[in-house]
Structure 1
Amino acid sequence: MNAFTVFAADESGAVATDWIVLSAACVAMGLATMLSVSGGVESLANETSAAISNYQIDDQFD
């Protein structure tokens, strides 16, 4: 057998390729989730900030 036939029949690198594709899919899903949730989180943070900025904190305890 020549070297090309041996190389073409070897499947040891296929597992690494699978992990690369799986890792890229996980990163893409994380980025998509972050993009879809970030607007709502920012809005909620602004509403919470506006709501608690009106509270008076009593710093004297009797």
Structure 2
Amino acid sequence: MRIARRLLRPFLKEEDGAVTVDWVALTAAILMLGLFAGFSVTSSVPTLANKLSEFVSGRSVGPE
């Protein structure tokens, strides 16, 4: 047990990986925000397409 503590103590005191953890958390948050925005936009596209289709189908083009 003492050997394990002696080997783990320097590893636990080292702080070099803390910056990496911050970047991973920041990247994950940005990714989740992007996915949320994408899903929000794509869920409203069919409704907008239907409204546009109804509007265009009611119009005539060219001489009558």
Shorter-chain TM-score: which interval? 0.5 to 0.7
For normalisation by structure 1, the TM-score amounts to: 0.64
Tell me whether 1:44 sits opposite 2:43 in the alignment.
no
For 2:18, the equivalent position in structure 1 comes to 14
Number of residues of Structure 1 aligned to a counterpart in Structure 2 = 57
SS at 1:11's partner residue? coil
> Structure 1 CA distance, aligned partners of 2:8 and 2:43?
53
Which blocks of at least 5 consecutive residues in structure 1 are unaligned?
none
For 2:36, the equivalent position in structure 1 comes to 32
> Structure 2 CA distance, aligned partners of 1:57 and 1:16?
60
For normalisation by structure 2, the TM-score amounts to: 0.63
For 2:7, the equivalent position in structure 1 comes to 3
